[in-house]
Amino acid sequence: MMYRKCLIALALASSVSAFSQRTETLIRNWKFANEDVEGAQSTTFNDSKWKNVVVPHDWAINGPFSKEIDIQKVAIEQNGEKESTEKTGRTGALPYIGTGWYRTTFKVDAGYQRTLLVFDGVMSCPEVYLNGKKVGEWKYGYTPFVLDVTSAVDRSGSNTLAVRAENVAMSSRWYPGAGIYRPVRLIQTQDLAVKPWGVTVTSQILSTNNAIVSVKTELNKNEAGVVVENRIIGGDADCKSETKSFSDGSASAQIEVKNPKLWSPETPNMYKLLTVVKKDGKEIDRVVTPFGIRSISFSAENGFQLNGVSRKFKGVCLHHDLGPIGTAINKSALIRQIKLLKEMGCDAIRTSHNIPSPWQMEICDSLGMMVMAESFDEWIYPKCKNGYHLYFDNWVEKDLTNLVLCHKNHPSIVMWSIGNEIPEQGSAKGSKIAKRLVDLMHALDPSRPVTAGCDRVDAAVKNGFIQTLDVPGLNYRTHKYQLAYDACPHGFILGSETASTVSSRGVYKFPVKYGENVTYPDGQCSSYDLEACNWSNIPEKDYELQDDKSWVVGEFVWTGFDYLGEPTPYDEYWPSRSSYFGILDLAGLPKDRYYLYRSRWNTEKPTLHLLPHWTWNGKENDTIPVYCYTSYPEAELFVNGKSMGRKKKDASDLMKRYRLHWDDVVYTPGSIKVVAYDADGKAVASEEVKTAGKPHHIKLDTDTKVLKADGEELVFITASVVDKDGNLCPTATNQLQFSVKGSGRFRGTCNGDATSTEVFTQPRMKAFGGQLVVVVQSSEKAGDISLTVKGAGLKSASETIKVE
């Protein structure tokens, strides 16, 4: 193999030049109108009365919630429904349908010749106009796309950029958001420059001492002999290669990295590749590409391996909304999600069921989270009347191409998914399409395997659909794993979507029992984690497969966080408008289930968690079962100091294998306390839950005390209603009000109640389960932010956040 050796001694100064060869700026400030306005693309159009908005923006998140929005009279075939019924809240009951226009202006710098616009995603069907002329369009709202607008740009004056987005009813199975919900970038370069997404980095680990990094660079022009310098920075590496472009404007290099620091969820080591393009000795472009060195493989012998070590995915599926801030993407909100998941021991996410945003992938790279990057929920057969099937024929290649081009360098992405529960699994035609798409993905990226989530397992096996995939993925149907394993040549099966257990944070229903599609008059689900849907299951059903079948390579639980829309099992119940599937609720507060997953997934820190709460006024002398989710093998429960006995995990009984429970506990106010024992029978930890008194004051917990003065960063502050001794009042529903002063603004609030119609963006909300989360955003000015939370009859609380 040909490669250049490290030139460690390379002087840094030699490649630094005074002039910046390209600029990249986010276009943040826009004017917005929530209607279809004739002539809005024209340069002479007067938008002075339009609203000022900052992109990323979601025009629908301010609500109000309404039952009438996108009522869908449908039978959800995937859920086994045969007859159509009226589904309310299926897409979140927020006003996302309609047209929105965005307008802004920008100037270009005389020193550059090329102008590019990069859209990370616009919901949906964006049409882009520059100086009155249409310069591009896309259909699928999740796809990043690049427009070279060089010929339409006015180099001497101001340029008017206008974007139209349109959402139609019955186009989604969840809340899709609305408008320019991901960043827009303006890139200026010289004429001869690196193409957008024109650097491809792959790595091959040869031994612990060395890896080979292969770099392909594609230039805007088909020009031979252009010097392309690639330099790797990071870890102990500082190595460089210099090659010349071929006549098609591409250049290839292979660079050896000594003692590579490998990327993994536990060690998210990143490198930077600096690509410098030179002509006639003059630097004309430079691009920095972050990348990681890691290997992935799937095999019958070793299952899934990352860097040569077998492991099973401890994954969750995520929809793209961020609860109270909607789909308007925000780095702080994404970081918070990933950190909460990592604390649970989760090591992978599936971007269900669509193309992720670059910001999310950057965060997965840097924090250490593997990713199954998915693409579609539909091909040619509709799940929704106006879904992606309308575009599949003309757009599927373009969408998949951009998915790969945009995201190929993220080490976090360990596989692509070409679809979720595609109904065509059941037809021979479907298998052919699958083969075509798998081949396309292989051609675009030979380094990653391709999967899809199959739910019609018998049909997918019979038609050869599942066999065409590199990684056979099963959604639910734990009883079909063996069949799929036997039928597939692969020798392993992935749980591409699992569980779909439902629960509402802090809500417990009696008697405690297992149930499918169970509903209650209050629109909530029980947090004893025994309720699922008729196609899904409680977590233990997956745990036993993962533990007992060496050939099952992990799972992606539906879902990590609750999301807007799909309020199953309350699809027909108003006002349910968000999901119950989350391990964490829509506010990002952990449900009890968080600790069940944590007890097996987080192998670094012990878990000891008790449920339910112990404030059951009026239920004195009733039976209230007590459950304990713990990483310890054994525990003893005490009610008001009296032992209820020791319980040990018991592998012979699924319901005792992973959780401990005392089913006959009689409620008496006071406390429940659990003492955990290690494998040697030694008492090592304890946890106590006390009966709360009356709501007395508000307690605030903040996830950070310092924000950047960038007008973007968010702080998430949990407000809890507590009694005079500081115990959470677990049934408190006090109305709380928020006021924010100083260098920030109130951005949103959420209590995790799937049936709440209080809007997220008003500074007041009722507590749910005694809690809610307030989101505050920094301004661009340094100083202090002060948040005060008040509630009638409660002592208020304040928190100060520094903005610097």
Q: Which residues bind ligand GAL (CB under 6 A)?
A: 78, 353, 420-421, 455, 475, 497, 500, 533, 536, 558, 566, 568
421 is catalytic: yes
Q: Which residue is catalytic, options 374, 497, 566, 799?
A: 497
For 552, list phi and psi in degrees, rounded to 5: -90, 125
Question: How many other C-beta atoms can be found within 10 angstroms of the C-beta atom of residue 85?
Answer: 12
Q: Measure CA 467 to chain center.
A: 28
Q: Provide the minimum distance between the beta carbon of 741 and ligand GAL in the complex, in angstroms, as a whole number.
A: 42
Is the dihedral angle over the CA atoms 69, 72, 77, 82 positive or is it negative?
A: positive
Q: Provide the minimum distance between the beta carbon of 466 and ligand GAL in the complex, in angstroms, as a whole number.
A: 15
Q: Which residues contact 207 (CB under 8 A, 6 or more apart)?
A: none
- Give 468 or 500: the residue with its C-beta nearer to ligand GAL: 500
Q: Are 575 and 93 in contact (CB under 8 A)?
A: yes
DSSP assignment string, 476-493: S-GGGHHHHHHH-SSS-E
Structure tokens at 39: 């002539």
Q: Provide the minimum distance between the beta carbon of 140 and ligand GAL in the complex, in angstroms, as a whole number.
A: 17
Q: Are 750 and 586 in contact (CB under 8 A)?
A: yes
Shortest Cβ contact with ligand GAL: which residue? 500
| Residue 443 DSSP SS3 | helix
- Give 99 or 420: the residue with its C-beta nearer to ligand GAL: 420
For 534, list phi and psi in degrees, rounded to 5: -75, -10
Q: Provide the minimum distance between the beta carbon of 372 and ligand GAL in the complex, in angstroms, as a whole number.
A: 13
- Give 444 or 499: the residue with its C-beta nearer to ligand GAL: 499
- Give 347 or 421: the residue with its C-beta nearer to ligand GAL: 421
Question: How many other C-beta atoms can be found within 10 angstroms of the C-beta atom of residue 375?
Answer: 28
- Give 70 or 421: the residue with its C-beta nearer to ligand GAL: 421
Encode 246-261 in three state secondary structure.
CCCCEEEEEEEEECCC
- Give 536 or 731: the residue with its C-beta nearer to ligand GAL: 536
Q: Are 316 and 349 in contact (CB under 8 A)?
A: yes
**530, 632, 739 from 682: Cα distances, Å:** 30, 11, 49
Q: Provide the minimum distance between the beta carbon of 566 and ligand GAL in the complex, in angstroms, as a whole number.
A: 6
Q: Provide the minimum distance between the beta carbon of 558 and ligand GAL in the complex, in angstroms, as a whole number.
A: 5
Point out which residues pair with 181 in neighbouring strands: none
Q: Provide the minimum distance between the beta carbon of 475 and ligand GAL in the complex, in angstroms, as a whole number.
A: 6
Is the dihedral angle over the CA atoms 91, 527, 669, 625 positive or is it negative?
A: positive
Residue among 310, 325, 318 nearest 340 (CA)? 318
- How far is 562 from 121, CA to CA, in rounded Å? 22
- How far is 155 from 151, CA to CA, in rounded Å? 10
- How far is 355 from 413, CA to CA, in rounded Å? 12
799 is catalytic: no
- Give 292 or 565: the residue with its C-beta nearer to ligand GAL: 565
Q: Which residues contact 41 (CB under 8 A, 6 or more apart)?
A: 129, 132, 134, 162, 164
- How far is 393 from 390, CA to CA, in rounded Å? 8
- Give 285 or 566: the residue with its C-beta nearer to ligand GAL: 566
- Give 532 or 773: the residue with its C-beta nearer to ligand GAL: 532
- How far is 495 from 473, CA to CA, in rounded Å? 6
Q: Provide the minimum distance between the beta carbon of 495 and ligand GAL in the complex, in angstroms, as a whole number.
A: 12
Place of tokens 């919901």: 123
Q: Which residue is catalytic, options 166, 374, 421, 636?
A: 421
Q: Provide the minimum distance between the beta carbon of 172 and ligand GAL in the complex, in angstroms, as a whole number.
A: 11
Task: List active site positions.
Answer: 421, 497
